Amino acid sequence: MAQKITKREQDYSQWYLDVVKEAQLAEHSPVRGCMVIKPTGMALWENMQQGLDTMFKETGHQNAYFPLFIPKSFLSKEAQHVEGFAKECAVVTHSRLKAVDGGVEVDPDSKLEEELIVRPTSETIIWDTYRNWIQSYRDLPILINQWANVVRWEMRTRLFLRTMEFLWQEGHTAHATKEEAVAETEQMLEVYRTFAEEYMAMPVITGAKTESERFAGAEETYCIEALMQDGKALQAGTSHFLGQNFAKAFDVKFQDSDGEHKLVWATSWGVSTRLIGGLIMTHSDDQGLVIPPKLAPVQVVIVPIYRDDEQRATVLEYGQSIFDELKEAGVRVKLDDRDNYKPGFKFAEHEARGIPLRIAIGPRDVEKGNVELARRDTLNKTFESRDGIADLVQELLVTIQNDLFEKAKNLREEMTSHVDTYEDFKKVLEEKGGFIYAHWDGTPETEELIKQETKATIRCIPFGDSEEGKCMVTGKPSKKKVLFAKAY
RNA sequence: CGGGGAGUGGCGCAGUCCGGUAGCGCAUUCGCUUUGGGAGCGAAGGGUCGCAGGUUCAAAUCCUGUCUCCCCGACCA
């Protein structure tokens, strides 16, 4: 069998690129660092959007849309924010081209009075807008989400994991009190955790970022961190408590019920198409993509097998009846009746594309009233009765969803270590990788030192249990272990 | 920005050292045979060799310049 996908142990990066390609999720575009998301990849993203959007709405948020362009001056209003994003902004300086012997060039006469920045994130334009929307405590809270594209001029890119333009959602909320804003930040992190675990079947650790890893302009950044199969961590989503920084920068105040004028409290939170990269690296194998049923654009594919036109007609009729029954049951099902590919080719193709369940039917099955059922996650094949197939499929889809989560969780546990000394830390990092819990003295200096020497970063200060100890590097007191890993 | 690699039919590549009719595999189209794990045979279509100059009777090939992409590092969701 021709193997089109590089084995993971041979070259993990190449494996990742091969999976993306063979699953037909995306491809490189003519534009450096930008990708073309193909229909299959977009369908996957749309399912993710739908899941998240529903959860946003259930927690009281509404969608809105703000401009792609941000006046340059807006970026200068929040000092830390500028510092964080200034080095990676696309800038629009002119408004037109002119034809010059066969080609075009930028028309120097069209230079803009004020340059426009292509949004790297929308806090500035949104807070500039909120100033006009907020006068009274009765105008609060504002709970808005935006689905958009943003641009960050990255040095190096990888499909889905880091592209110059990417799709995401960004929530931007405004609150009257600090407590309410903090609660919102926590709530949205929990939404992300739930989505990652229940939809993507991707277990995550929740926690707070250290000061140096914090979002530019945030008082506190919470995150979900996932562990990929190669032992590297992926920051999968962030929720920021922005304090009153943006309210100050954009002069957003409200008159409270006590008559006082006060600054508004803010949060922002986002996840991006990077989640697709995380999904791929959490579940997929050497045969290609594996997608959890809840997010799979196609959950079941029916592959008919036949020798001649007569058999084809019989088998297709049988397949169509199964298709109808599954569709009726609400399963996303596809009947692959293409006549120009052999079954073996189709099997391999559907596996590469990660379709959770495959039903193969041939003349023998029609005769016996059977189907051959193959699970993508385990690659196990069984023969089942055609009767009651819809119930069985629905049960199996749930089972697969759960099994994928358990499998990913077990792998993460295996790849998670606790160390007490810096020597052990380096050793584990070298030999095993993965998540490493260790004590840290809480200083940026020590964090930086560890990063320089080992390339591992503090992924987060996990929520939950605390266990006092001593910093593995300096021996100074530490309140709890923090989570280290090499990251994407 | 440092290091490495590559630009030749839609995709993957050979040809370049040593200049002489642009080739192979996959894909595509048509026909026949096939179809329970990536089918076989036959035929056909498709390329100003990244771009711009130069050398030459003759350039994918030699020279000069230039652009782009990919991979590895520093930076980042």
Which nucleotide is closest to A14, CA to C1'? Answer: B71
Which is higher by pLDDT, A220 or A28? A220
Determine the pLDDT at residue A101: 61
The integer distance in angstroms from the CA atom of A90 to the C1' atom of B31 is 55
Q: Is residue A150 located within the same domain as residue A242? A: yes
What pLDDT, in 10s, does the model give residues A264-320? 999 999 999 999 999 999 999 999 999 999 999 999 999 999 999 899 999 999 999
Query: Does residue A68 belong to any structural domain of this protein?
Result: yes
Q: Which nucleotide is nearest to A339 (CA to C1')?
A: B35
Q: Token digits for A60? A: 């009281």
- Both A277 and A310 in a single domain? no
- Residue A60 sits in the same domain as residue A155: yes
Q: Which of A482, A413, A415, A488 minimizes the C-alpha distance to A208?
A: A482
Co-location of A195 and A47 in the same domain: yes
- In this structure, the answer to whether residues A131 and A174 fall within a common structural domain is yes
In this structure, the number of other CB atoms found within 10 A of the CB of residue A300 comes to: 28
**Which nucleotides of chain B are near protein (any atom < 7 Å from a CB)?**
1, 28-29, 34-39, 68-77
Distance, angstroms, CA A37 to C1' B69? 18
Note the CA–C1' distance, A340 to B45, in angstroms.
20
Do the domain assignments include residue A311? yes
What is the rounded distance in angstroms from the CA atom of residue A35 to the CA atom of residue A299?
A: 25
- My answer on whether A388 and A448 are in the same domain is no
**Within a domain: A402:** no
Residue whose Cα is closest to the C1' of B38: A345
Strands (E), A178-292: 205-208, 220-227, 233-243, 253-255, 261-263, 265-272
Residue A32 CA, nucleotide B16 C1', distance (Å)? 28
| Alpha-carbon gap, residue A473 to A486, rounded angstroms | 18
Which of the nucleotides lies closest to A366 (Cα–C1')? B36
* Residue indicated by tokens 């803009």: A112
**A109 shares its domain with A251:** yes
Last residue of some domain: A257, A283, A309?
A283
Which of A158, A153, A169, A146 has the alpha carbon at shortest distance from A85? A153
Smallest CA–C1' distance to B1, residue: A155
Tell me: the pLDDT tens digits for A384-409?
999 999 999 999 999 999 999 999 99
Q: Kindly report the average pLDDT of chain A as a whole number.
A: 93
By C1' distance from the Cα of A306, the closest nucleotide is B35
Which of A5, A47, A50, A2 lies closest to A353 in space, CA to CA? A5
Token pair for A38? 């193909």
Nucleotide nearest to A33 (CA to C1'): B69
Whether residue A226 is found in the same domain as residue A360: no
Tell me, yes or no, whether A275 and A148 share the same domain. Answer: yes
Domain contains A289: no
Instruction: Round to a whole number and report the distance in Å from the CA of A161 to the C1' of B66.
Output: 32
Alpha-carbon distance of A26 to A466, in angstroms, equals: 43
Looking at the domain assignment, is residue A409 inside a domain?
A: no
Residues A370 and A429 in one domain: no
Residues in chain A, how many?
488
Which CATH number is A11's domain given?
3.30.930.10
Is A70 within the bounds of a domain? yes
Q: What is the pLDDT of residue A103?
A: 65
pLDDT classification of A34: cutoffs 50, 70, 90: confident
Q: Reduced to 3 states, what is the DSSP secondary structure of residue A20?
A: helix
Looking at A363, A396, A429, the residue that finishes a domain is A396
Q: What was the pLDDT predicted at A223?
A: 96
- State which residue has its Cα closest to the C1' atom of B39: A342
- Domain of residue A448 covers 418-485
CATH at A336: 3.40.50.800
- At A354-375, the pLDDT tens digits run 999 999 999 999 999 999 999 9
Report the 10 Å Cβ neighbour count for A203: 21
Q: What is the predicted pLDDT for the residue at A164?
A: 87
Q: Which nucleotide is nearest to A270 (CA to C1')?
A: B77
pLDDT tens figures, A163-208: 888 999 999 999 999 999 999 999 999 999 999 999 999 999 999 9
Spatial distance from the CA of A360 to the C1' of B46 (Å): 37
Q: Which nucleotide is nearest to A29 (CA to C1')?
A: B69
Please give the share of chain A, as a percent, with pLDDT higher than 90.
76
> CA-to-C1' distance for A307 and B31, Å?
19
For nucleotide B37, the protein residue with its alpha carbon nearest to C1' is A344
pLDDT at A1: 35
- Between the two ends of chain A, the Cα-to-Cα distance in Å is 33
Q: How far is the CA of A28 from the C1' of B20 (A)?
A: 38
A278 lies in some domain = yes
Q: A103-151: per-residue pLDDT in tens? A: 677 888 888 999 999 999 999 999 999 999 999 999 999 999 999 999 9
- What's the pLDDT tens digit per position in A54-98? 999 999 999 999 999 999 999 889 888 888 888 788 888 888 888
Q: Give residue A144's identity as a one-letter amino acid code.
A: I
Q: What pTM value is reported for the model?
A: 0.95
How many folded domains does chain A comprise? 3
**Where does a domain end: A341, A364, A396?**
A396
Q: Same structural domain for residues A370 and A238? A: no
Task: Report the range of poorest mean pLDDT among A151-160, A219-228, A457-466.
Answer: A151-160
Residue A306 lies in a domain: yes
User: What pLDDT, on a 0 to 100 scale, did the predictor assign at position A4?
Assistant: 76
CA distance linking residue A58 with residue A54, whole number of Å: 6
We report the CATH number of the domain holding residue A470 as 3.30.110.30
**ipTM surpasses 0.90:** no
Q: Which nucleotide is nearest to A151 (CA to C1')?
A: B77
Q: Are A275 and A365 contained in the same domain?
A: no
What six digits make up the tokens of A439? 């004590």
Could you tell me the distance in Å between the CA of residue A112 and the C1' of nucleotide B64? 38
Comparing A100-114, A319-333, A377-391, A458-472, the range with the smallest average pLDDT is: A100-114
Residue A30 CA and nucleotide B65 C1' are separated, in Å, by 23
